[in-house]
Structure 1
């Protein structure tokens, strides 16, 4: 049976960062990361909630040029 000094649940950026900081601070190894993913932990950027939101609608453009419209009636 393996023994671990530290068990971290989650292998996202926070979990990997916590394991790296623990080891860098001199914490004894081995460290175990528990994850529900089917691939080993890898370095990935954190997901921002801003990326999940729909883009803001474009600002209305106000032209400084005066617009004129002309209508011509159709011949009878």
Structure 2
């Protein structure tokens, strides 16, 4: 962990659903190919994105907020 002028910067390779939801219990997340993705991130919302090839689909919903699997959202 690094500290910079009162701001905590955390640098890790990946984060699991439980960690994301611990930091933000209202986070809207899904898991694809072992990676957790979170919606409503300001810098992502500012990007110009285009739809291309569909790479996956959310197939199940996890209400328990732990033990996420691929193709699962909350």
Pick the structure with greater CA Rg.
Answer: 1
TM-score clears 0.5: no
TM-score normalized by the length of structure 1: 0.19
Q: TM-score, normalised by structure 2?
A: 0.19
Between Structure 1 and Structure 2, the one with more helix by share is 1
Q: Which has the higher strand share?
A: 2
